[in-house]
């Protein structure tokens, strides 16, 4: 953890953790595949004061007046923001970690439900604070694993591990090339000649609700039909692998084709970034969007329109939806220095056409 991530003054521990975008590798993490996320400048900050009690008091600057309290050991799912706090203390206790009570205040710049991992940012910021406050012997990877279990076992969102790994291990200006099967990871520098654009469609999702879960189940059904345990194991280059996909019912074939081709796109993007081949980076983004829209069917018209407007511009290499889908944000790559202007123009044109708002998150003003 860098010194600016942590500040301890008169018993107050302040930590923060970033949201993320995923450059490519969507819905591959729960298929044991590859992902390539990068942190965004927006962070969630927590301030934690350890107390002698066994209660947790929490308040969120984003929801004034909404204070919540519970006793450690009596965590109960409430379907609200407090579940992420309760989930963290629940999983820590289940793993045998000893923590005491604390007062907590949170503040998040990461928009909620926009596909930018606001929940992972909260989990990792809180886990960093608890690690410091109670001297927990946890590595950054373990923080991410605990964060994923909070989602899976307490909140009820059947997500993979990408977001928590991105928030815990990511570094600005670098992409986290992660193999979610082995958790082997490597930071790939983003070329200085390219700038990331992030636009929020303001259409909100919730991964504890049905659609994300349905996609996950469809991938599992495709595995059974193909006789593999994970879609990661379908090698698109292997002779006959793509023919095998063709034997699936149409819907499962398209779901599997997305995952298999998306894993390959992660490897292509890593190569393109290493070679600073920005046209190729753009091609991979565009292909990723088409696959998510047509094969995986997790885009929405607002997001498709933002992507279409972006990809028709000369100053955009490529664009796609990012995150779990069903709303949320798009990313695009622009030449360095051109991103802000392009992003503002894209939003203006989108709003003029549709009458709907959208918001530029990156680059900042």
Q: Give catalytic residues, as residue numbers.
A: 163
Minimum gap (Å) between residue 42 Cβ and ligand GLA: 15
17 binds ligand GLA (CB under 6 A): no
Q: Quick one: 14 or 22, whose CB is closer to ligand GLA?
A: 22
Q: Give whichever of 20 and 59 is closer to ligand GLA, judged by the CB atom.
A: 20
Asked if 27 is part of the footprint of ligand GLA (rule: CB under 6 A), the reply reads yes
Which residues, in sequence order, are CB contacts of 80 under 8 Å at separation 6+?
68
Q: Which is nearer to ligand GLA, 26 or 103 (CB)?
A: 26
Applying CB under 6 A, does 323 fall inside the site for ligand GLA? Answer: yes
Nearer to ligand GLA, 48 or 270 (CB): 270
Which region, judged by CB under 6 A, interacts with ligand GLA, from 21-29, 67-75, 237-245, 277-285?
A: 21-29
- In 3D space, the residue among 138, 134, 133, 149 whose CA is nearest the CA of residue 86 turns out to be 149
**Which one of 160, 191, 318, 363 is in contact with ligand GLA (CB under 6 A)?**
160
Nearest to residue 216, comparing CAs of 259, 274, 272, 261?
259
Q: Which of 16, 21, 24, 29 binds ligand GLA (CB under 6 A)?
A: 29
Cβ distance 115 to 321 under 8 Å? yes
Give the CA angle between residues 169, 72, 43 to the nearest 5°. 30
| Cα–Cα distance, 103 to 80 (Å, whole number) | 18
Among residues 75, 103, 109, 163, the one that binds ligand GLA under rule CB under 6 A: 163
Among 150, 159, 178, 188, binds ligand GLA (CB under 6 A): 159
Among 307, 281, 310, 286, which Cα is nearest to 190's?
281
Q: How far apart are CA 38 and CA 22, in angstroms?
A: 6
* Residues found near ligand GLA in the complex (CB under 6 A): 22, 26-27, 29-30, 159-160, 162-163, 207, 323-324
């Amino acid at each position: 953890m860098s010194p600016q991530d942590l500040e301890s003054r008169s018993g107050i521990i302040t930590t923060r953790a970033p949201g993320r975008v995923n450059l490519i590798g969507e819905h591959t993490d729960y298929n044991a595949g590859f992902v390539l996320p990068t942190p965004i400048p927006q962070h969630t900050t927590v301030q934690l004061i350890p107390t002698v009690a066994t209660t947790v008091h929490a308040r969120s600057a984003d929801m004034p007046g909404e204070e919540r309290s519970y006793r450690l050991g009596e965590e109960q799912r409430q379907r609200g923001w407090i579940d992420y706090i309760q989930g963290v203390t629940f999983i820590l206790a289940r793993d045998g970690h000893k923590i005491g009570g604390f007062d907590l205040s949170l503040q998040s710049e990461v928009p909620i439900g926009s596909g930018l991992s606001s929940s992972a940012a909260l989990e990792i910021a809180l886990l960093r604070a608890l690690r410091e406050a109670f001297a927990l012997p946890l590595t950054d990877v373990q923080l991410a694993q605990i964060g994923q279990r909070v989602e899976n076992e307490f909140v009820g969102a059947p997500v993979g591990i990408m977001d928590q790994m991105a928030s815990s291990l990511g570094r600005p200006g670098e992409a986290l090339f992660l193999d979610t099967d082995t958790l082997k990871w490597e930071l790939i520098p983003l070329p200085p000649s390219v700038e990331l654009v992030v636009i929020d469609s303001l259409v909100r999702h919730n991964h504890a609700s049905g659609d994300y879960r349905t996609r996950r189940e469809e991938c599992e059904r495709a595995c059974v039909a193909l006789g593999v345990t994970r879609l990661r194991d379908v090698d698109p280059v292997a002779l006959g692998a793509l023919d095998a996909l063709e034997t699936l019912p149409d819907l499962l074939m398209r779901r599997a084709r997305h995952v298999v081709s998306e894993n390959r796109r992660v490897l292509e993007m890593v190569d393109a970034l290493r070679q600073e081949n920005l046209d190729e980076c753009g091609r991979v983004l565009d292909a990723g969007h088409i696959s998510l829209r047509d094969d995986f069917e997790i885009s929405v018209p607002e997001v498709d329109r933002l992507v279409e407007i972006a990809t028709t511009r000369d100053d955009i290499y490529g664009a796609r939806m990012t995150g779990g889908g069903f709303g949320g944000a798009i990313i695009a790559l622009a030449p360095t220095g051109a991103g802000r202007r392009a992003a503002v123009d894209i939003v203006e044109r989108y709003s003029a056409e549709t009458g709907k708002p959208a918001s530029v998150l990156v680059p900042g003003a």
